Amino acid sequence: MPRGAPAGGSIGDTAFGALAALGSAVAWAVTSLLARSLMAELGSVGVNAIRSTIGGVLLVVWVLATVGTGAFTAISASGWLLLGLSIVTAIALGDTVFFESTRAIGVARAMTVSTSYPLGAAVIAAAFLNEPVTVPIAVGSLVTTAGLVLIVAPWAERAPEERFWFGVGAAALASLAWAVATVLVKPPLSEMSATTAQAIRLPVAALVLWLTPWARSVPGAFAKSGRAVKIRIAILGAITSVSSVMFVAGVKHAGVAIASVLSATAPMFAIPLAVVFLDERLTLRAVAGIVLTVAGMILLQL
């Protein structure tokens, strides 16, 4: 078994978890670009509420159709509590403030700051879940994070000072929220599949978001929005359902440290998207960042 793999997990389990975490990174790169394009019409809370609702409905229907109600009734009270807390922290707080930070300082700078979250998650998991932080995990995490910073740091010009510091603070808060949420979701996964966990977490997140005062105008704004906006938000909701399951599967099978680092590689996948759709240039610094990030990912699997 690779060092740092969850106790009792096989090599196949860990590899599956790593691939799932990487898949969630690809999906998050697409999610960030789609969400930013929708915030002018719906706002960050509105985008989050609608995408969580769509994703949650899709997952609940899937679980009921494939497993039945027993998937939900067999969960312990502590499992329900930790799942609820984790998703409120991750989406209602983390994703919302992250999307706000992208409006203030751009996707690139927001991602640069928020890529620190795997390091926080690894430290918290080591302290409270007794997950080992081995040398390969520690070095791989640092190398991967350095590569990500190298990739995204040059993308955006410095924003006006007042919005710059607001954006940095919001991205840092998102990083902390994601780290805490990742650790909170791990214990309940011993009772259920990743799909069942997300079929609980996403509807809870949607409910919390709809209850906030910032969501009151969202139904009207969504009703008045054009067909293109409705199509994009539907796609975003579908991607959310799949990507959220992949992320939780990564935590379940590969552990908090490895899954959080690999899922944070979204900027590496955002580069080809930016080149294709935004006419960004592929710089030597970006290439060097990709090489460094891949090297860190390899170290994580040693």
Does the structure show a pLDDT above 80 at 53? yes
Least-confidence region, from 70-74, 94-98, 220-224: 94-98
| Token pair recorded at residue 23 | 């898949």
Q: pLDDT per residue over 124-148, tens digit each?
A: 888 888 877 777 777 777 887 777 7
Q: Which residue has the higher pLDDT, 65 or 100?
A: 65
Q: pLDDT per residue over 8-21, tens digit each?
A: 344 478 888 889 98
Q: What is the mean pLDDT of residues 88-116?
A: 79
Alpha-carbon distance of 214 to 210, in angstroms, equals: 8
Alpha-carbon distance of 152 to 224, in angstroms, equals: 35
Residues in the chain: 302
Q: pLDDT per residue over 246-287, tens digit each?
A: 999 999 988 887 888 888 777 777 767 767 766 666 667 767
Q: Which pLDDT band holds residue 119 (cuts at 50, 70, 90)? A: confident
Q: What is the pLDDT of residue 281?
A: 66
Task: Note the pTM of the prediction, 2 decimals.
Answer: 0.76
Q: What is the pLDDT of residue 285?
A: 72
Does the structure show a pLDDT above 90 at 123? no
Q: Evaluate whether 256 touches 125 at the Cβ level (below 8 Å).
A: yes
Does the structure show a pLDDT above 80 at 41? yes
Alpha-carbon distance of 66 to 60, in angstroms, equals: 10
Of 302, 301, 267, nearest to 286 by C-alpha is 267
Q: Work out the mean pLDDT of the chain and round it to a whole number.
A: 81
Q: What is the pLDDT of residue 62?
A: 96
| Token pair recorded at residue 292 | 């460094």
pLDDT more than 70, % of the chain: 86
Does the structure show a pLDDT above 70 at 82? yes
Q: Which residue has the higher pLDDT, 2 or 101?
A: 101
Give residues with Cβ within 8 angstroms of 158, minimum separation 6: 164
Q: What is the pLDDT of residue 112?
A: 72
Write a three-state SS string for the chain.
Answer: CCCCCCCCCCHHHHHHHHHHHHHHHHHHHHHHHHHHHHHHHHHHHHHHHHHHHHHHHHHHHHHHHHCCCHHHHCCCHHHHHHHHHHHHHHHHHHHHHHHHHHHHHHHHHHHHHHCCHHHHHHHHHHHHCCCCCCHHHHHHHHHHHHHHHHHHCCCCCCCCHHHHHHHHHHHHHHHHHHHHHHHHHCHHHHCCCHHHHHHHHHHHHHHHHHCCHHHCCHHHHHHHCCHHHHHHHHHHHHHHHHHHHHHHHHHHHHCHHHHHHHHCCHHHHHHHHHHHHCCCCCCHHHHHHHHHHHHHHHHHCC
